[in-house]
Structure 1
Amino acid sequence: MNVKQLLTDDRAVSPVIGVILMVAITVILAAVIGTFVLGLGDQVSESAPQASFSFDFNMTNSPGNVTITHEGGETLESGNINATGDEGSGLTGTGFTSTIQAGDSATYGDVQNGETIRVIWTNPAGGSTNTIARATAPQ
């Protein structure tokens, strides 16, 4: 056996590197395609909007009412916004109308003492929901 020939022989290097590159490209393509086929790509861009709300409770009568005001942040579509009480109890009132911009408010009734009121955003693309604001009525 000639040792000098073994050290200078590089015939197998190119096919091995080619196979490794092809496997890497295949794995990357499979991951990208799989993400979009399973619908995970759409969920990445659909996150809850950034908006702040204030709650003004009027509990002089029982049950009382709450005025929810959009203080700032993103403009929201009223069809994607809902206000609920504890355990999903229904609040009375017309709610927000059309688009909700900073300064817009809505008044809801049937608020009980100590009840937590939540502003819930529903994702129009997938129906998932996020609580974007909450406050508890005084006792």
Structure 2
Amino acid sequence: MKLTILLTEDDAVSSTIGVVLMVAVTVILAAAVGTFALGLAETSAEETPSASFEVEWGLDGGDTVVDVTMQGGNGVEAKFVTVELEGSEVWNDADEDAAGRLTHYDGKEWTADKIQSGDTLGLKEDGTSLNEGDTIPVIWNNGQKSQVHGSATLSN
């Protein structure tokens, strides 16, 4: 009689199968999360370019002008570079109207996809928008990392 009960009772088997399935699901989820995390780690490891920009001030016909010249280092993708004036964007590759208060002069523009050593961007004020003490930084930002590659403050 006890042998019949032993053969028909299978509660322990279903508990064991449940535990094995839970462990398998946990291992698969851990592998998926690990792969995702490692994939993100590779993307964020993209190096910031080693580039140096010089920002110079001057006068052109009574208007203040700014020349931003890449002095050296790695070529920089123009789509990641912005030039700002006191926190407001005055140049980026995607927006022709970003200059706002500044315009290009003497054909000095960054028109290529990649800014190389010796390339110069010339910006000229529209009226009296540039003042002593204004700062113009050149910023590289790929959406994950950001770095200032050059800056200058207007002084007499």
Give the 3-state SS of the residue equivalent to 2:111 in structure 1: coil
- TM-superposition CA deviations, 1:8-52 (whole Å, max 9, x none): xxxxxxxxxxxxxxxxxx9xx799536325x233102x2321111
Aligned to 2:120: 105
Aligned pair partner of 2:103 in 79, 88, 92:
92
Identity of aligned residues (%): 26
Q: Counterpart of 1:138 in structure 2: which amino acid?
A: S
Tell me the TM-score normalised to structure 1 length.
0.62
Tell me the TM-score normalised to structure 2 length.
0.56
Give the 3-state SS of the residue equivalent to 1:131 in structure 2: strand
Change (3 A) 1:67 1:82: same
- CA distance in structure 1 between the aligned counterparts of 2:74 and 2:82, rounded to whole angstroms: 16
- Distance apart, 1:117 and its partner CA: 0.4
Q: Counterpart of 1:106 in structure 2: which amino acid?
A: L
Report matched runs for 1:60-75 at 5 Å.
64-75=64-75
Aligned to 1:35: 37
Q: Counterpart of 1:96 in structure 2: which amino acid?
A: W
- Equivalenced residue count is 109
Aligned to 1:131: 148
Give the 3-state SS of the residue equivalent to 1:42 in structure 2: helix
- Distance apart, 1:58 and its partner CA: 1.0
Give the 3-state SS of the residue equivalent to 2:38 in structure 1: helix
**Larger Rg belongs to:** 2
Q: Counterpart of 2:146 in structure 1: which amino acid?
A: T
Residue ranges of structure 1 left out of the alignment (5+ in a row) = 1-25
Work out whether residues 62 and 112 of structure 1, in 8 Å CA contact, stay in contact via their aligned partners in 2: no
- Distance apart, 1:59 and its partner CA: 4.7
Aligned to 1:7: none
